Amino acid sequence: MAAIISDKIKRKFLTHIFDEATGTRIGDSDNFYYIGIGRSQQWNPAGSLDAVVNPANDEREERNYRYNAQSIKAVEAFSFVIPVDEWAANTQYSAYNDDVVGHPATPYYVKTVDNNIYVCIRTGKDSLGTVQVSTVKPDHTDATLPIEADGYVWKYLYTISVADVNSFVTSNFMPVKKMIDSAGPADAYFGQYTVQNAAVPGQIVGYRVENGGQSYDSSDTLVITGDGTGAKARLIVSSGVITAVEVGDSALVGTSGYPTIVDQMGWIQLCKCKSNNINRK
């Protein structure tokens, strides 16, 4: 019977290794971890091929590995990492979707040149509901959700500290911290601490249209029913078919000085809606 080792299980195992709450923090006097570097022999000297073989995962192989290692390095710092997706102008991004396996083909988060990390809450769309490219680099570092001139809405997550940039940022990966327990204004991750404390479970961050229907008009409005308050949505209709539903009344997206979603319709109140239906009005 096949078994699935999920990413969550892998993270749990790793967390157990370097979580100070379990008493096994890397670098403690009783917990030292090392990484072997190099190999003194070719993988396949008989065939003159320097090709890595499949590991046998037995005691002899482990012993031979120790014999052939050229040096070892003590682990001094550690972090979870995720693939890097640098924000680039004229690139299409997708809104965050929890129905995606692995790393998405179209990224929903980005790292800017400022080492700020953002997640895409809403993409810019044209009148037909077609996703447009991003042209405005997000630069806010607070809990607001400004609507950029290109129609994108980015949520600021955190800024990678200088120390973590030096230790963990590569061309392929960047560090991520799941939770900040405490931080003061002078701390490098105070921005993430502020944002995570402002987050409220149950927030409505987007809508997926499963059936666009027919005979709709752009003047039609949507009413969201449930036990929350302040939730709004706007239709994007093409030839009578609903091609997209945007969070809030975004008809003025791109207008100079357009207010943030928080100012416009009380974004935080959206979090109180637990069970919602969308009705035509």
For residues 57 and 88, state if they share a domain: no
The answer on pLDDT for 169 being more than 90 is yes
The span from the CA of 230 to the CA of 51, in Å, is 61
State the average pLDDT for the chain. Answer: 77
For residues 166 and 270, state if they share a domain: no
For residues 68 and 175, state if they share a domain: no
For residues 33 and 129, state if they share a domain: no
Domain span including residue 254:
222-280
pLDDT tens-digit readout, 140-157? 998 887 888 888 889 999
For residues 66 and 92, state if they share a domain: no
Both tokens of 220, joined, read 């039609």
pLDDT average, residue stretch 170-191: 90
Residue closest to 213 by CA, chosen among 230, 235, 186? 235
Q: What is the pLDDT of residue 36?
A: 82
Contact 165, 125 (CB under 8 A): no
For residues 116 and 62, state if they share a domain: no
Domain membership of residue 164 (yes or no) is yes
For residues 30 and 67, state if they share a domain: yes
Domain membership of residue 153 (yes or no) is yes
In this structure, of 25-34, 238-247, 248-257, the range with the lowest mean pLDDT score is 248-257
Band (pLDDT 50/70/90 cuts) for residue 121 is: confident
Q: What is the pLDDT of residue 279?
A: 43
Give the chain's domain count.
Answer: 3
The top-scoring range by mean pLDDT among 25-39, 166-180, 266-280 is 166-180
Q: What is the pLDDT of residue 203?
A: 67
pLDDT tens-digit readout, 223-244? 777 777 666 677 778 889 988 7
Number of other residues whose CB lies within 10 A of the CB of residue 33? 14
Domain membership of residue 152 (yes or no) is yes
The span from the CA of 243 to the CA of 8, in Å, is 34
Element (H, E) at 158: strand 153-159
- This prediction's pTM: 0.72
For residues 141 and 227, state if they share a domain: no
Residue closest to 134 by CA, chosen among 114, 117, 116, 120? 120
First to last CA, the chain: 52
Residue 150: exposed, middle, or buried by beta-carbon count in 10 A (0-12, 13-18, 19+)?
middle
